[in-house]
């Protein structure tokens, strides 16, 4: 079986070429030694870097050049470790680069606060007299957004010393959730075995209904039994973030967290408003599932059962998936396809599941070389979708690295998921066109598209709405008790689920098993990214080359401007509702097609 394949047995062409990062282990070791010296040199510049424009330029240049080198070293060690987490050399290299990174952070801890503390007149003088500083204008402007929100040095030092305590609620939740929580035993797949989070997925999609019910009840009961501890961690986390926002002179924690990417708070509110305005579409989908599956009542644990009840009708090999990807992404132009061929032929992708390899999939890159993608291939449509998803990330990395200075190519989370999900939409549209005479495949592909939209945009918007409730409730002095949290959760969830879904008839605390609530206004970005990607894909397929050119302009922009401006230049204004309305219209069209096929 694939999961028994040893690393040494994997074909070389299907593995990463880490020599593109460092040709030899000695080169990696030399890079770490160089980074130690760079950090030490930067530490000595703290007292004189504002002496004049030349000193200022040297410190800024040295700092960002060091970050580029540090990123490359981190990537090498990360990939070395990911390809075999049991390898002693990889583990040691990962530990070494983390130690170097920590030392560098300590040596340069003065840098950002000093940039913030610099008065505007002096900075303007430096920039006028030292033209080379123009290369760093965007990153200096980002740091300067903290002006008015940075405390005196002694107070900043105190906050730094308290950082572990201020973030302890999330660490406690993670320990409880990942280490202490158990879900009992379950009879599944012909044997009695421990119920785990990993097993919940296969049970939800393929187990008999009585097994799904038992698993769901056991799973949710475990969280309910620990509801007081989970509620306490959420309360303490929200309190810490609200307090830090107040100390830093923000109106709210949301304002503080969205300010990091200069995203207006109205973007968040518009997402929730537009999602509510289109809940009727979500209710239609749930009603369709209820009808097709013949379930009355239909419960939450029925939500992942395939509508066809059959084995997925699409099972591509890796070679077939690559060929399909090139055809599906052809609307993006020959230059895009040339980069994609370089990925497929240049050992950018580590394909097979091997012993000790990190699970799942991801993409990462360092400036001056190519991106790297991790897969665990198993000949499924999901694997093909993951390939084009991660390739979307890779192409954004390629285009931004080609067109921007290194430090301006590191695109933020707000835009990071757009390129990947645009590719998924283009793949799905291509596959639907190719299988239009095969009803079973059409149903399968439309179900994939519709389910992905509901699971990403609707679900993440629901989480974002609940997250905002928690922050506001704690800020107003009301404790986040299990009863308070469950009452509000049930209210919001009922609005999203609609009349077709019947609540489970046992005590539950669903809010307790969403770790992303500790990531500080993170989830709304998944929903906005899905909507933006849906709009991009629709425009590319209906408007052709002009829309593809705008999209590649977005890919090329990296972090050269705020995310809002980057998207606006590519034709999407996230400060308005248009992009969301366009995405919901696409979703409605796909839902209508699915309804017609299943009628």
Enzyme catalytic residues? 390
CB atoms within 10 A of CB 15: 16
Quote the strand ranges of 304-460, DSSP E: 349-350, 362-364, 372-374
Residue 578's contacts (CB-CB under 8 Å, 6 or more residues apart) are none
**CA-atom Rg of the chain in angstroms:** 25
Task: Give the span between the Cα atoms of 225 and 366, in whole angstroms.
Answer: 45
Looking at residue 560, the DSSP 8-state letter turns out to be S
Tokens of 144: 């300067």
> With the CA atoms of 220, 226, 228 and 232 taken in that order, what torsion angle do they form, in degrees rounded to the nearest 10?
-100
Cα(563)–Cα(553) distance, rounded to whole angstroms?
Answer: 13
Environment class of residue 460 by beta-carbon count within 10 Å: exposed (0-12), middle (13-18) or buried (19+)?
Answer: buried
Strands 372-374 and 501-502, by their bridges, are unpaired
Q: How many residues does the chain have?
A: 599
State the DSSP string of 401-441. HHHS-GGG----HHHHHHHHHHHHHHHHHHHHHHTTT-HHH
Which residues are 432's β-sheet partners? none
Report in angstroms the alpha-carbon separations of 545 from 29, 297, 467, 571: 46, 48, 40, 14
What CA–CA distance (Å, rounded) separates 364 from 372? Answer: 5
CA angle 539, 540, 544 (to 5 degrees): 110
- Residue 597's contacts (CB-CB under 8 Å, 6 or more residues apart) are 439, 442, 443, 446
Asked if residue 72 lies in contact with residue 34, where contact means CB atoms within 8 angstroms, the answer is no
Residue 178 — φ and ψ, nearest 5°?
-90, -25
Cβ(219)–Cβ(195) under 8 Å? yes
Q: What CA–CA distances, in Å, run from 541 to 339, 399, 444, 546?
A: 20, 21, 21, 11
Judge contact between 442 and 598, C-beta under 8 A. no
């Amino acid at each position: 079986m694939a999961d028994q394949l040893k690393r040494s047995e994997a074909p070389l062409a299907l593995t990463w070429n880490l020599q593109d990062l460092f040709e030899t282990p000695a080169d990696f070791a030399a890079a770490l030694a160089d980074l130690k010296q760079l950090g030490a040199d930067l530490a000595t510049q703290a007292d004189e870097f504002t002496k004049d424009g030349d000193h200022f330029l040297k410190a800024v240049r040295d700092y960002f050049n060091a970050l580029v080198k540090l990123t490359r070293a981190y990537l090498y060690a990360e990939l070395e470790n990911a390809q075999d987490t049991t390898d002693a050399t990889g583990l040691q290299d990962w530990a070494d680069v983390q130690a170097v990174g920590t030392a560098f952070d300590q040596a340069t801890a003065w840098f950002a606060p000093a940039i913030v503390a610099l008065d505007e007149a002096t900075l303007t003088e430096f920039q006028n007299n030292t033209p080379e500083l123009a290369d760093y204008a965007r990153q200096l402007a980002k740091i300067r957004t903290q002006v008015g929100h940075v405390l005196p040095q002694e107070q900043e030092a105190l906050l730094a010393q308290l950082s572990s305590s201020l973030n302890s609620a999330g660490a406690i939740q993670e320990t409880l959730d990942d280490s202490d929580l158990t879900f009992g035993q379950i009879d599944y797949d012909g044997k009695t075995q421990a119920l785990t989070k990993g097993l919940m997925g296969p049970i939800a999609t393929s187990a008999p209904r009585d097994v799904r019910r038992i698993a769901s009840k056991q799973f949710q009961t475990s969280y309910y039994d620990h509801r007081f501890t989970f509620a306490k961690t959420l309360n303490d986390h929200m309190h810490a973030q609200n307090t830090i926002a107040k100390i830093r002179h923000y109106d709210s924690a949301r304002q503080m967290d969205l300010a990091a990417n200069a995203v207006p708070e109205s973007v968040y509110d518009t997402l929730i408003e537009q999602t509510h305005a289109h809940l009727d579409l979500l209710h239609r989908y749930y009603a369709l599932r209820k009808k097709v599956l013949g379930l009355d009542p239909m419960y939450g644990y029925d939500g992942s059962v395939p509508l066809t009840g059959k084995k997925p009708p699409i099972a591509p090999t890796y070679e077939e998936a690559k060929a399909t990807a090139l055809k599906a992404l052809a609307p993006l132009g020959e230059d895009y396809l040339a980069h994609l061929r370089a990925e497929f032929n240049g050992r950018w992708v580590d394909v097979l599941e091997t012993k000790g390899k990190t699970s799942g999939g991801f993409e990462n890159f360092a400036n001056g070389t190519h991106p790297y993608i991790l897969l665990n291939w198993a000949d499924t449509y999901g694997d093909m979708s993951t390939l084009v998803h991660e390739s979307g990330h890779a192409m954004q990395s390629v285009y931004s690295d080609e067109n921007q200075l290194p430090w301006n190519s590191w695109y933020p989370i707000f835009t990071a998921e757009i390129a990947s999900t645009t590719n998924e939409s283009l793949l799905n549209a291509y596959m639907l066109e190719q299988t239009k005479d095969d009803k079973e495949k059409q149903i399968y592909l439309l179900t994939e598209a519709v389910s992905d939209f509901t699971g990403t945009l609707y679900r993440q918007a629901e989480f974002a709405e609940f997250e905002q409730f928690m922050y506001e409730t704690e800020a107003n002095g009301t404790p986040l008790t299990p009863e308070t949290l469950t009452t509000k959760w049930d209210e919001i969830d009922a609005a999203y689920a609609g009349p077709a879904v019947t609540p489970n008839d046992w005590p539950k605390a669903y809010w307790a098993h969403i770790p992303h609530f500790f990531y500080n206004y993170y989830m709304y970005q998944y929903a906005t990214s899905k909507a933006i990607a849906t709009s991009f894909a629709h425009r590319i397929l209906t408007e052709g080359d002009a829309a593809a050119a705008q999209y590649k302009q977005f890919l090329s922009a990296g972090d050269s401007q705020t995310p809002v401006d980057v998207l606006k230049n590519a034709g999407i204004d996230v400060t308005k509702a248009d992009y969301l309305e366009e995405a919901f219209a696409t979703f409605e069209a796909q839902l209508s097609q699915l309804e017609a096929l299943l009628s």
